[in-house]
Amino acid sequence: MTPQVFKARVQGFSAALMCATILFLVYYMYSSFQRAYRFCFGEPELWADHWRVEDAAIIENSSRVSYFLIWSVVILLSAIATVAAIHLLNRCRKGLIFDAGTARSIQVLGGILVVAMIGDQVFGALELYLVTQHNPVHVELIRWQYDPTDFKTAALAVVLFMFGWVMRDAIEVEQTNKGFV
Amino acid sequence: MAIIVRLDVMLAMRKMRSKELAERIGITEQNLSLLKSGKVRGVRFETLSAICRELDCQPADLLEFTPDEPA
């Protein structure tokens, strides 16, 4: 396979993946916000009927707003990471593959994914406390919830960040050597 | 420019054409032309060594330093 053919294939694959990612982003934003809205405001009984919430608990509006806002931050962080991925795919679609901007995009994507994962962990730790805070008897403590999927994503994010770093260094070396005979 | 490339002088002295030297040292004629006109950022030791070998000369025969005139 010649480099031109390989590049054309990467461009085609990136374009297809970009379209799919845009559709995913729209669906993710819609479904995530809809779920959070329904739980907090749209169908208030969902919270009251939660299996950890006691029957005598009265859910205050301020708690609902807090839950929704914290959840919104997590959704937005993930959405920003997805936008960064779309930006990266768009650069590849344009044929800007071995490029300083692409390397920076990879680093930004890795960095945002790490932040999104941290946000997810923080929210995961807070979630049960927020849901059960009005229980008269048993309120769940703020505690970290173990989820192996998050570890895998965080590891991938760190790898992406490091890959972007190495790529930037490689491009710098290439730029330095350019013009030498 | 502080470094003057005297490759064309050495080529004339050795009665060798640019194309032949480019072939012998394994770089393109365009790159050799850029080197002759001093329009390169640097020369690899590998290239310099090959030129010296083929032209039977020293690096000092190819390169000359002239201080820039103060503005």
Closest by Cα among B29, B27, B38, B26 to B62: B38
User: Which residues are bridge partners to B64 per DSSP?
Assistant: B4
Report pLDDT for A90: 96
Using the Cα atoms of residue B4, residue B5, residue B6 and residue B12 in order, give the sign of their dihedral.
negative
Q: Do the Cβ atoms of B43 and B3 come closer than 8 Å?
A: no
User: Which residues are bridge partners to A180 per DSSP?
Assistant: B42
**A135, containing H or E segment:** none
Find, in chain B, the residue whose alpha carbon is nearest to that of A176: B41
Contact across the interface for B40 and A178, Cβ inside 8 Å: no
> Residue B4 gets which letter from DSSP?
E
Statement: residue B69 has pLDDT above 80: no
User: Is CATH 3.40.1260.10 correct for B3-62?
Assistant: no
d(CA B20, CA A147): 67
**B5, containing H or E segment:** strand B3-5
Statement: residue B1 has pLDDT above 80: no
Instruction: Tell me the chain B residues in contact with residue A179 when contact means C-beta distances shorter than 8 Å.
Output: 40-42
Q: Which of A174, A178, A180, A181 to mutate to test the interface with B (most CBs of B within 10 A)?
A: A181
- Determine phi and psi for B34, rounding to 5 degrees: -65, -40
Report pLDDT for A150: 81
Three-state secondary structure along A64-93?
A: HHHHHHHHHHHHHHHHHHHHHHHHHHHHHH
**What are the boundaries of each domain within chain B?**
3-62
Count of residues making up chain B: 71
What tokens does A40 get?
């907090």
Give me the domain span that covers residue A107: 3-177
d(CA A153, CA A160): 10
Closest by Cα among B13, B43, B39 to B25: B43
Contact across the interface for A180 and B35, Cβ inside 8 Å: no
Tens digits of pLDDT across chain A (181 residues): 788 899 899 999 999 999 999 999 999 999 999 999 999 999 988 998 888 899 888 888 999 999 999 999 999 999 999 999 999 999 999 999 888 899 999 999 999 999 998 888 899 899 989 999 999 988 989 988 888 888 888 899 999 999 999 999 999 888 888 889 8
d(CA A25, CA A80): 10
Report pLDDT for A103: 93
d(CA A180, CA A176): 8
**A99, containing H or E segment:** none
Report pLDDT for B50: 96
Amino acid sitting at position A7: K
Report pLDDT for B18: 94
Find, in chain A, the residue whose alpha carbon is nearest to that of B42: A180
Instruction: Tell me the chain B residues in contact with residue A180 when contact means C-beta distances shorter than 8 Å.
Output: 40-44
